[in-house]
Homo-oligomer: A and B are copies of this chain.
Amino acid sequence: MSRIAYVSGRYCRQDEAVVSIEDRGYQFADGVYEVIAVHRGHLVDEALHLLRLARSLHELRIAAPMSDRVLRHVLRRVIRLNKVRNGSVYLQITRGVAPRNHAFPLVAFPQLVVTAQRAKPADPKFLAEGAAVISIPDLRWARRDIKSISLLPNVLGKQLAREAGAYEAWQVDADGFVTEGTSSNAWIVTSGGVIVTRKADHDILNGITRLVVIDLAAKAGLRFEERAFSLAEAKTAGEAFLTSTSSLITPVTRIDGAKVADGVPGPVTMMLRRGLAEHLDRLADGA
């Protein structure tokens, strides 16, 4: 049976779910999105995602199509209708439907689309060996802090990774510093044991998993620095990993074909990964 999607007021078969060709999301990438993990039926860190969503909408001056209370209801209903216990819910809000014209329409009603999908079980071999990343120049616009659907450079970068047999592409700025992956944040652990990830300004998206891992590191008393690191530093780091809503913490064991340290997932990475798994369980237990 088809999955069920929510599209601006209606629940419908996902394979029949449509939007207008004059939706500004389709013609101008004029919209934002969020992906929230579902763990044992619980929406993981939902409040943080909705806070970021509100910020993205604010930056683009798109009105929220409904209150958070109603949105939370819709998210839960889509999850329930699709019988998703472990997976994710995707939501997208665009500025609305209007005759094509770059400037904001005088009248438009923001459109909301929600879908839910079950998680594919992680490949244990992948986790045991860690992921390969490649490096590419960061071609994106200057406001990567907004979680917009203007994702074409991310698409092209991810495709390059795929073709290189890698899991992700780390984007590198003009000064040689890693910004982030195409759909994940980038991290290293120095040989001295310091966890490092880039400061969340306009150059990167402030990942929710990123925030949670920073918090976990602090609570565990681990040393942490929020600063840019160069590609060169990453290649000689003690450990490397990436974070995202869908992959949580994934060890990075190869960068541009060369091993990171001895080429196996590092102890700090795996400790954080266990910590994150416990965080998810605690949330699902309602603790």
Contact = CB atoms under 8 A, between A and B. Distances in A.
Q: Which of A29, A100, A103, A140 has the most CB of B within 10 A?
A: A29
Q: Which of A7, A14, A21, A24 has the most CB of B within 10 A?
A: A21
A180 interface: no
A7 B29 contact: no
Nearest to A138: B142
Oligomer: number of copies: 2
Interface string A21-48: 1111111111001000000000000000
A161 B24 CA distance: 19
Nearest to A113: B21
Chain A residues touching B, range: 35 or more
A123 to B, nearest CB: 16
Contact of A149 (B27, B115, B117): B27
Interface in A135-153: 137, 139-143, 148-153
A185 B153 CA distance: 23
A110 to B, nearest CB: 14
Interface in A30-76: 30, 33, 60-61
20 contacts: A14-B22, A21-B113, A21-B115, A26-B92, A27-B33, A28-B152, A29-B29, A29-B150, A29-B151, A30-B152, A60-B152, A99-B117, A102-B155, A102-B159, A102-B182, A103-B155, A103-B158, A104-B159, A104-B162, A141-B152
